[in-house]
């Protein structure tokens, strides 16, 4: 049988991302793109998944951004002898800003913005390790900026100018301090909401979406889009409201999606109702561990409000999620997934509560 469809596999890694996207119909039979590799300890899980599905070659590997839960697992995966690949895509900050200058400012900001500086330094280390592993395999690292095409995927964000401005934010000590303080205030508010989450008179369940600041590194996430016939799909990684609004304004015709990745494991920081109403996906996947924050009930409810069927890798138990369009190889070992929280409703009906 000649396959001509598209598949999305979201591998269950808790609050970490690794997504395999396969486009059938290429001369080689399929074009496969791996977006992220989970945490540093997740490489074996990702490799096992690929082996299970007889994938030994990836046309492209993309590191959406170098946070540990997205790029950490790519280091060992790239080094592995179990997989070979064509091109690797990742932003390299030292191509856009003097690395010594950046390190000096991060050092100066370590007292007033300890958390942010710690995350950035870890991300720089991960980026160097991925680049080193790629070079050891004789590969050039390409940067995924708006307008680039990676196989059958189109890069919608970030714009190079937007990315470079995000880098400059790390040399603005005042901005770093304000960002750290805003994040602390948001965390305090979240703690209160967790305490009073069953008191609607205290907090509106749908309030607060997208109000908190998103770290610049998350906003630098590579946002990808593809189409299969009339069906549109959007991959968001950890992009925040600012980054996704850039995408919305640059590509006003990509609304009414067939499938979408909910950004940042369902965090309330990264999406708002305006964006949800614009994207309005029929189906949405989220990679999460099922805690209160990931995914946030308010985020899931906001998507369900526009008619989206939301599926999570944690629900009702930890399971890889598969979405497909067109003619693709059958998977007799897979069964229909249950949309998020629907199992609770069914249990209530069965139990006659």
C-alpha 195/C-alpha 94 separation (Å) is 43
Range of the domain at 215: 6-351
Task: Give phi and psi for 24, each to the nearest 5.
Answer: -85, 155
Task: Determine contact, residues 157/146, Cβ cutoff 8 Å.
Answer: yes
This prediction has a pTM of 0.90
User: What is the rounded distance in angstroms from the CA atom of residue 68 to the CA atom of residue 217?
Assistant: 11
Tell me, what's the pLDDT at 352? 31
Residue-wise burial string across 116-147, b where 16 or more C-beta atoms lie within 10 A, e elsewhere = bbebbeebbebbebbbebbeeeebebbebbbe
pLDDT at 113: 65
Domain-located, residue 1: no
- What is the model's pLDDT at position 103? 73
123-to-112, 119, 120, 128, 131 alpha-carbon distances in Å: 19, 6, 5, 9, 12
For residue 23, give every residue at least 6 positions away whose Cβ sits within 8 Å of its Cβ, in sequence order, or none.
6, 30, 31, 32, 151, 152, 226, 228
What is the rounded distance in angstroms from the CA atom of residue 73 to the CA atom of residue 92?
18
Q: How many domains does the chain have?
A: 1
Instruction: Give the span between the Cα atoms of 225 and 279, in whole angstroms.
Output: 12
In the chain (353 residues long), the average pLDDT of successive 10-residue segments reads 92 97 86 97 97 97 97 98 97 88 65 71 93 97 98 97 89 71 62 48 53 82 97 97 96 94 94 96 96 88 96 95 96 93 54 31
Nearest to residue 278, comparing CAs of 252, 255, 303? 255
CA separation for the pair 106, 103 (Å, rounded) = 5
What is the model's pLDDT at position 281? Answer: 98
Percent of the chain that is helix, strand, coil (3-state, to 5): 40, 20, 45
Alpha-carbon gap, residue 3 to 70, rounded angstroms: 30
In a domain, 264, yes or no: yes
pLDDT score for 38: 98
Asked if the structure places residue 89 within a domain, the reply is: yes
Whether residue 223 is contained in a domain is answered as yes
Domain of residue 40, CATH code: 3.60.15.10
């Amino acid at each position: 049988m000649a396959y001509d469809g598209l598949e999305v596999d979201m591998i269950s890694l808790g609050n970490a991302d690794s997504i395999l996207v396969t486009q059938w119909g290429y001369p080689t039979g399929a074009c496969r793109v791996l977006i992220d590799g989970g945490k540093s300890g997740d490489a074996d899980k990702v490799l096992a998944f690929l082996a299970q599905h007889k994938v030994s070659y990836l046309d492209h590997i993309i590191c959406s951004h170098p946070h540990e839960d997205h790029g950490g697992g790519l280091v060992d995966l790239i080094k592995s002898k179990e997989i070979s690949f064509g091109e690797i895509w990742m932003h390299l900050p030292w191509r856009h800003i003097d690395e010594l200058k950046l390190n000096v400012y991060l050092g100066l900001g370590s007292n007033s913005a300890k958390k942010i500086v710690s995350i950035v330094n870890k991300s720089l280390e991960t980026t160097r390790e991925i680049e080193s592993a790629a070079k050891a395999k004789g590969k050039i690292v390409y940067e995924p900026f708006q307008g680039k095409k990676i196989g059958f995927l189109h890069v919608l964000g970030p714009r190079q100018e937007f990315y470079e401005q995000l880098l400059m934010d790390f040399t603005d000590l005042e901005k770093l301090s304000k960002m750290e303080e805003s994040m602390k205030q948001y965390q305090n508010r979240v703690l209160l909401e967790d305490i009073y989450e069953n008191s609607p008179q205290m907090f509106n369940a749908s309030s607060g979406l997208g109000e908190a600041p998103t770290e610049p590194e998350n906003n630098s996430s590579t946002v990808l889009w593809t189409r299969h016939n009339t069906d549109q799909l959007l991959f968001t990684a950890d992009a925040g409201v600012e980054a996704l609004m850039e995408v919305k304004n640059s590509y006003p015709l990509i609304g009414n999606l067939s499938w979408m990745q909910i950004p940042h494991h369902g965090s309330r920081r990264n999406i708002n109702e305006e964006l949800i109403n614009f994207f309005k996906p029929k189906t949405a996947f989220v990679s999460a561990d099922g805690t209160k924050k990931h995914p946030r009930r308010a985020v899931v409810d906001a998507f369900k409000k526009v008619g989206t069927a939301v599926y999570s890798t944690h629900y009702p138990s930890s399971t890889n999620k598969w979405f497909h369009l067109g003619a693709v190889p059958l998977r007799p070992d897979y069964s229909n997934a249950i949309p998020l929280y629907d199992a609770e409703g069914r249990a209530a009906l069965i139990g006659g509560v």
